[in-house]
């Protein structure tokens, strides 16, 4: 299946997004003092690792959208709201897509997937509060869907205890959490 492997020494934790055309792997680091984590770029040919500086606050799960931008779950911290952002890794431009549901702040978005229609689905557990870097949640642990046409966010699923991990079936008809 794979014809080679690379070794890159880094403190990768979540994310991973492989961009075949650029031969680059993006991942988020483990939490560092502060608290803070960063987005790492691993160059497949040679294994060089550098940090992407874009102002993302506690980045966690990531994916690519249809424009080739990184869609990032930012967990936030005690001073910054959690959000879903889009980052152009070439220009460094960062755009907050959504940071609230019905005027209530997200807990600490964890994992994300983009559907064929451009909708962004993401999990929002309370890990940031449980780990001491986010305030007490105002929302239960939920799965959200952001609609790119209306720019609105809805609850897609509830009743989870710390939803973590999200994927769509190849035909987009089934959401896995």
Q: Looking at the domain assignment, is residue 38 inside a domain?
A: yes
pLDDT at 9 over 60: no
Domain count for the chain? 1
Q: Is 26 helix (H, G, I), strand (E, B) or coil?
A: strand
Q: Looking at the domain assignment, is residue 4 inside a domain?
A: no
Q: Domain span at residue 114?
A: 12-176
pLDDT at 5 over 60: no
CA dihedral 6, 10, 11, 17 (to 10 degrees): -50
Please give the residue that has the higher pLDDT: either 9 or 113. 113
Q: Looking at the domain assignment, is residue 126 inside a domain?
A: yes
- Interval 37-87: pLDDT, tens: 788 888 888 778 888 878 899 899 999 999 999 999 999 999 999 999 999
Q: Looking at the domain assignment, is residue 3 inside a domain?
A: no
**Can you give the CATH number for the domain in which 103 is found?**
2.120.10.30
Q: Looking at the domain assignment, is residue 2 inside a domain?
A: no
């Amino acid at each position: 299946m794979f014809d080679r492997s690379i070794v890159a020494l880094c403190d990768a934790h979540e994310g991973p997004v492989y961009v075949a055309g650029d031969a680059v792997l993006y991942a988020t680091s483990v939490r560092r003092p502060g608290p803070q984590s960063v987005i790492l770029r691993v160059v497949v040919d040679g294994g060089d690792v550098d940090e992407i500086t874009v102002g993302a606050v506690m980045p966690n799960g990531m994916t690519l959208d249809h424009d080739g931008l990184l869609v990032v779950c930012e967990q936030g911290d005690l001073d910054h709201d959690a959000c879903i952002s889009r980052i152009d890794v070439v220009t460094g431009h960062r755009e907050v897509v959504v940071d609230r549901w019905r005027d209530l702040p997200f807990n600490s978005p964890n994992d994300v997937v983009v559907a064929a229609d451009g909708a962004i689905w993401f999990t929002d557990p309370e890990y940031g509060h449980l780990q001491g870097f986010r305030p007490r949640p105002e929302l239960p642990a939920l799965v959200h869907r952001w609609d790119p046409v209306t720019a609105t966010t809805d609850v897609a699923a509830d009743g989870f205890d710390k939803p973590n991990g999200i994927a769509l079936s190849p035909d987009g008809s089934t959401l896995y959490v």
